[in-house]
Chains A and B, each alone.
Chain A
């Protein structure tokens, strides 16, 4: 009797589970259009708990979901273009900004100067990275024109105003910005599960033209393998952050998938410690590190680079010397190093040993190993030190010969942020002893220069000096890789910034 009971119980359990699985079969992206609606299904590796775009980096995601827009937008060439704003003009430290007449929220309310100013002040209060905005002086000239007076000349204000965290929201009607968001984007929230799926639908009163999709759904998939399989199974239509292995699979099926990979803004670089390494050793290291070989090894996930910015940007025009092993060896030998029986260079009985400090993220562990191998080929012994938190350890203490790091170099279409963080005197990532009076003067000039051509010229000169002095080595820019079904178009796949995706022109043909 008891045996029978066990048997029946087992069968019932398995049957319930099996049928529960079978009954909803068929809700895939491929047959979804049978309903006649164009709903784009995507995966995201991050899920929001609230929809307040001003808080932390949440504006990146509300922008990705097509819910929010800022006064300006970054284009594919990393230049600032007007979005909700029509024009902007600087006079010293006073910026006059005119808003577009048509700009309005999804509830039909017009975007006014007052609302924009309140948004900027709110973002300044909510987000420490934009705290300066709450201290600026604002003046309303008319319903569509206002001024911002910064405490000092601020030539990159428009780049900041293009940040998705400075999205413009109808503060009066977004009672709980965490869940009821009234903004200006081409889509509005249809359903939102904190930490999970978000569904958006067309903003039928979108101010900037016709919205082509009926809606979109973003599923939270932290594991890239899950996104790959959901794509293969036809349950999602596109996603960004495609891994190298997944890209190979998609490349092999061009009839189904479109794969777009472009160098983005996240940079892998290393800092050479001038306080510890001689000029000849640093130069030899830079002549040895083969970034093209690293790009090949990392299999399409990165693009090797000469400087910190994409070479297509006007401020990305720098060069570095090509890999030359013989020249590197000659430099070391000229400096008194000689090869020992183990194949390593030594001087005064000391083997030339370089400590490479890194942390295990963003492929820096692989990069460290590859650099160690490449240095070995010319006779430099590399030792690896892995730290959990680089900022609290080797970046803070300067205890390294080579320090690996990864950060977004181009935050919003301007070089000043990266230069001020890594090359300026006392900058947090200028921890390898780079110091050059002339360069510092150029950085000071860059800080207050408004003319874009001059800014690019200054940035190129500053970065070139850092390269020529062998203070840094810029390895690669991470690629932004997007995969789409062949019928999907316009998901900002050619824009290097991570915070754009869904827009009014996104379509499923």
Chain B
């Protein structure tokens, strides 16, 4: 097991190398000069002399490979550099943003699984009954409604109409609920459908017919056999979703003024803030690798046959 984990973590090295190089190259060829973006942020034109001087100060006049290797050299020493946009430390920016994104992501995820697991199983068990159709209908709506619309509707309903929450959210539980709910509901809709499908697949398997024929109780079959075997599919679904959630949600974070990494990323892309974007790419790669590793470990815990 230790060998397996080490091997997977070592895979991070080529992944980070490849990803950072690719990101740097893509940013380099994308139209938009970071120096000009910085100097003209308020719509004020600057002279070519000022622009040239700023480009020089920011190291943008260097050849592409030199710029990349300079950045990578610093990264190897643990220095992610400073933001082009405001000169603050990239590490500080990202650690602050990631903290908020973790809180929001895990709250939304927790909310989503709390609602979707029981409902997903229930709709599978009650297949083709009214309750199944009704929940699936709601899931279609949940999947179709974009989360920015949900967010605005939630603010209107909870903050303006019934006045349960303030619009000006603070970084506490009070400020967390609506963004978490806005992120969770589309997930709930997706999870319910996927859990339902995974459970149904098991319920229709021949070993379940056998178990029923042996006179086992339905609850026993459901929790002991069906759920256990459906768990691998369910964990895969959850794993992919948590990776996406940790990438931050630009729209939800903007609407709810949640200082997470999604909004930071969008601002950084618009400002061509290379150091911040590169830092984020590294962190994202690590998150995806670690989450996938955890999922694989979970698979092996659930079904040790896959260990080989």
Interface residues of chain A, those whose CB is within 8 Å of chain B, are: 2-3, 6-7, 9-10, 13, 16-18, 20-25, 27-28, 41, 48-50, 55-58, 60, 128-129, 131, 178, 194-196, 219-223, 225-226, 229-230, 232-233, 235-236, 266, 362, 387-389, 391-393, 406-408, 411, 417, 421, 428-429, 498
Contacts and interface: CB of A to CB of B under 8 A. Distances in A.
A389 B45 contact: no
B259 interface: yes
Contacts of B302: none
A41 B47 CA distance: 38
Contact of B53 (A131, A195, A236): A131
A126 B174 CA distance: 40
Interface stretch (B152-160, B199-207, B288-296): B152-160
Contacts of B118: 3, 6-7, 10
Interface in B24-52: 30-33, 36, 38-48, 50
A128 B164 contact: no
Nearest to B156: A229
B57 interface: yes
A407 B167 contact: no
B88 interface: yes
Interface string B114-127: 11011000000000
A226 B257 contact: yes
Nearest to B30: A388
Contacts of A48: 86
Contacts of B57: 128
Given A128-B54, A232-B160, A387-B31, A421 B86 contact: no
Interface string B151-195: 010011011100111111001111011101100000000000000
A429 B45 contact: yes
Interface in B96-131: 96, 110-111, 114-115, 117-118
Contacts of B263: 222
B259 to A, nearest CB: 6
**4 nearest CB pairs, A to B:** A20-B173, A389-B31, A230-B167, A49-B86
B168 A50 contact: no
Contacts of A57: 41-42
Contact of A50 (B87, B114, B115): B87
A407 B50 contact: no
A60 B43 CA distance: 13
B108 to A, nearest CB: 11
B255 interface: yes
A223 B36 contact: no
A219 B257 contact: yes
A195 B168 contact: no
Given A56-B41, A230-B167, A195 B173 contact: no
A235 B223 contact: no
Which residue, B36, B53, B176, B254, has most C-beta atoms of chain A within 10 A? B254
Contact of A21 (B54, B111, B177): B177
A407 B259 contact: no
Contacts of A2: 223
